Amino acid sequence: MKLKKPFKIQFIILFFILFAFLYKINPIKNFSEIINIKLPKRLENIYGYCGGESIGYLKYIKKKFKLNAHPEIINFIHTPPNLWSIYEAKLNNYKSNKKIVLNYPGEKIQVDLVGLGNNIFEFKDPYYFSTISSNINKIYSKKTDLKIDYLEFYKNNYLNNSNLIRKSKLSYDNLKEHKLQINLEEFEIGENRLFIKIISNELYGEGSALKMELENKLNINNYEIIHNYENCYFLN
C-alpha cells in the first residue's frame, strides 16, 4: 500500500520536528548526568555556587553550620527567592540574627541606564534596587563628558501614565560625573518603572554608557563575618 503524497510530507515534517526536539533536550546526556552526578552538584551546576542564585553556597552554609532558624538571605543579583534550598519547616517559629549575603558588590552599587533615545534613559528594576540601596549618589560616564543642565525623573505606572516626580539642577564642576544624593524612598516607586530625562543641548544615546552609583544599605564591616567565599558571606 502506497502512502499518499500529502501524508508522506506530513510524516517527514513530523519526523524532523521529533528529531530536532530530541537533539535539543539530549535525553541520553541528561539521563547520564542524573545517574552519575549527585543532586547537590547538579543544583550547583544549574543555580551557581557563588553567583546567580548561589544555591551551592547556601547548601554549604546549611551543611557546615548548625542553623537554629532561617537566616535572612540578601542577594545582590535579582533572582527568584532561594530560601527553598535550605528551608526546614521546623525552623519557622524561630528568629535568626544571621544573614547570608550573596554576590555582594561592595559599599557602592553601579547601575547601567538603558538609553531609549531623545535623551531618555530607563532605570531598570527600581523597586528591587530600592530594597538594597538608600541613595542615588551620582550619574556618570567613563566614555563621554556630561554637559547636563537638569535631570527629570518620571514614574510610569502599569497604565503607562508618566508623572514628573523630581527635577534636579546640575553643575559643570566635573564633566565625567554629577553628584546627586537623592534618597530613593522619596520616589515611592513601588512596582512602577523609573525614567530619567536629560535636559541638555547635547544629545545622549546608548553609546554614552551612562551609569548611576547607589549607596548600599548593607555594609558587611558592621557585622561579624562567620564565613566568606569570594563575594558571598555568612554574617552575624
CATH number at residue 196: 2.60.120
What is the Cα–Cα distance from 50 to 38, expressed in whole angstroms? 19
Tens digit of pLDDT for each residue in 177-187?
Answer: 999 999 999 99
Whether the model pTM is above 0.85: no
Is residue 40 over pLDDT 60? no
Q: Same domain, yes or no, for 113 and 212? A: yes
Residue 67 belongs to some domain of the structure: yes
Q: Same domain, yes or no, for 114 and 210? A: yes
Q: Same domain, yes or no, for 83 and 144? A: no
Tens digit of pLDDT for each residue in 216-233?
Answer: 999 999 999 999 999 999
Q: Same domain, yes or no, for 160 and 193? A: yes
Q: Same domain, yes or no, for 142 and 181? A: yes
Residue 160 belongs to some domain of the structure: yes
Q: Same domain, yes or no, for 63 and 115? A: no
Q: Same domain, yes or no, for 225 and 203? A: no
Residue 183 belongs to some domain of the structure: yes
**Domain coverage including residue 61:** 48-88+95-104+219-235
Q: Same domain, yes or no, for 189 and 170? A: yes
Residue 3 belongs to some domain of the structure: no
Please, what is the average pLDDT of the chain? 85
Residue 40 belongs to some domain of the structure: no
Residue 169 belongs to some domain of the structure: yes
Q: Same domain, yes or no, for 212 and 228? A: no
Q: Given this model, what pLDDT does residue 145 score?
A: 86
3-state secondary structure 185-231: HHHCCCCCEEEEEEECCCCCCHHHCCEEEEEECCCHHHCCEEEEECC
Phi-psi region of 52 (alpha: psi -120 to 50; beta: other; left: phi over 0): left
- Sign of the alpha-carbon dihedral angle for 113, 137, 54, 73: negative
